[in-house]
Structure 1
Amino acid sequence: MLFKDVVGQQPAKEGLTKMWHNNVFPHALLLVGNEGTGGLPMGLALAQFIFCTEKTENDSCGHCVNCRKVSRLEHADVHMTFPTIPPKPGNKGMSKLYIQEFREFIQQTPYGTTYEWLQHINAENKQGNIVAEECREIIDTLNLKSYEGGRKVQIIWRPEYLRKEGNILLKLIEEPPHDTTIIFIAEDLEDILPTILSRTQSVKLAPLHPKDIAEALTYRAVTDPTRAAQIAHIAMGSYTEALRLSNHTDNDLFPGVKDLFNSIFTNNGIALTKFADEWSKAGREQQKNFLHYIIQLLEQAIRARYTPDMPLSLPEAEAQFVRKLAATKTTFDAFDKMIGTITDTMFYIERNAHSKTQLLAMALRMQYMVTNKPLPAGV
């Protein structure tokens, strides 16, 4: 994988390559970022960059022998460790037993989650783990000479699953063999042993910017630019979540939002009833995505009102709508209450409440909120 294939994270990419070219690259690196921010793709791109024989200043070449081997996870000196389950009762789960499945998983879903990986190997309700035997095998492997006469890279995906067994690796992490790099890829620092944290140099992966998510969705032909921009703003900085949303967002959400707010501000009860009826026929995921999208636009409206000099990272049509909404007499308290009632509606819809009733009640509450009128009893 090339750095250019990793969504966003430009500061992290620049920092890593700069450390490499300045010969100050750590022997034990911890990439840490929330699910969907690209930890595993970044780790794989970094491994490819390290082994590339024709690297540029900012990326690997992608076509040399080493690049091709690493991209297929077939380079003899790139060692992978990840959570696994016992293949059968009485056996220990070891990464080497699942390496072919892991290659397939990465090829299919480089931004896949740990849960998705465990389901890929039919873990069902079994708990993934990185066992003590795997830790000892890592030590033995890295203390051997490199197979191809160069460096060695050990990638440990989700060191949170090491638990206390990770203490076996402490001496190796502190004093690895010559030309050996250990790359940990984590999501939750609190679940990593402090003894490991203290021996690694951390690089934080920030939540992805909506612009980067939208560009990736469009470039990779996941969806059209309009839907990509909308999805990017409700994905909460996660490309994994954006991919999930793209599977449950069937059309342009913005016209529905405009119609809803036109009905609210014109006090059109018939149109609100029609809104509830039409959206009650959509799937629950589609309904939730629509409501998430409204919340994002409301939050942007608050920003537009109180920080007007800050540019809006929205397509022009949505940006104009947000500015108009910010210019209304709707109070900050009303915006806050609308976000609260939409959030409550999502909560009830997730729990299989009657969606038409919930959507109509939400729209009626919002109608009262924008006029700053007290809600009638029972609404």
Structure 2
Amino acid sequence: MKKAAIAILLVLLLTGCWDRLPLKTLHIVDIAGIDQDKENGDIVLNYVVTKLKNVGQGSGEPSPKITVLKGHSLVEAVEQGQYTEQGPFFGMHTGIYFISKSFASDDPVQELTFILKAPYTASNSPVVIINGNMSKLLKSKIGTNKEFTRGLSDFVLSIEKNGIAPEVTLMKLILSRKEPLEDMALPLLKPSNSSMELDGALLFRQGTYTGKELDKDQVQMLMLMLEKYSGNKRYTGNMSRKDEDKKSDYGFSVKKLNSKIITHPESGELPKVSIGVRMRIYVFKFGESVQPFKPEYVNRMEKELGKHLEEDAAATIKTLQKANCDVLGIGQQLKAYHPNIWKSMNWRKDFPEMSIEPNFDVQILNSEE
């Protein structure tokens, strides 16, 4: 009996925690929007915190609130949060780090690095970029759509999950500074009606913006070459055809995709690289033709579509080389599987000059036998 009483007493005494935080005083950040004041260079931090009003059983009305904090650095701006009536703020569940193009262009990693060691912060959340004034954008979107925060979070997760855009977390961006071969493309969003849409991607080399970017179609091509796709994703576009004066629309979904980087050594010269992409697709539109997908017609479609995709892929690769940004991971492949070739190269000098050729092998599955 005495042992039981002691055990109960210990449970009561040990349930507390020295750094515990009352739930009622917590302000969990949904979006951390980071911008840079163009006039004085100060950092502008926009915290979006959503709470529920009119809470009932299993329901409630979302009520997002924006708090704007400023400082000469991001650390200083974060610190201001403890002096406001809306604070303190805790980012352990931060859904998205929303950074402006101006902030991303001015050594963002230097400002962001402290987050890896800061308490109550989330470093494994995705990072996306917008072009424009962060405060005005958030105020406008949230003012007209109370579900904006949730919708934006769902949208960002969906484009990454479905292979529409690269997935880049805050931790990955910060750690890339010390990784010589860790280049990346950060998704760029733009306003669209009451929400946002993908507008392309900014190219980063070791955590630094290269000044170059991919458009939306090039991002799609990049994801195909990276073997990132989803069966739910539909690919559409238009292309020139030999038998038609105007461009023809096409549309397909991918059933199976394989991509492989192949290195061809060249004596006394830089190695040549080919990127082989094998696609098994279902076509739902191809030009204005209404004829059935007979084998001879399908064979011609496969060759024309493959050539068109190769041209788009070559243009995308050219942009990557101009930016000296190896998002495709060619350098990593060379270092791992061709160490002798790698040792003979000056990677950052040689990458923009290399011959990199895409080869697309397209097979249409819904042909009529």
Common fold by TM > 0.5: no
The answer to which structure has the higher helix fraction is 1
TM-score w.r.t. structure 2 length? 0.30
TM-score w.r.t. structure 1 length? 0.29
The answer to which structure has the higher strand fraction is 2
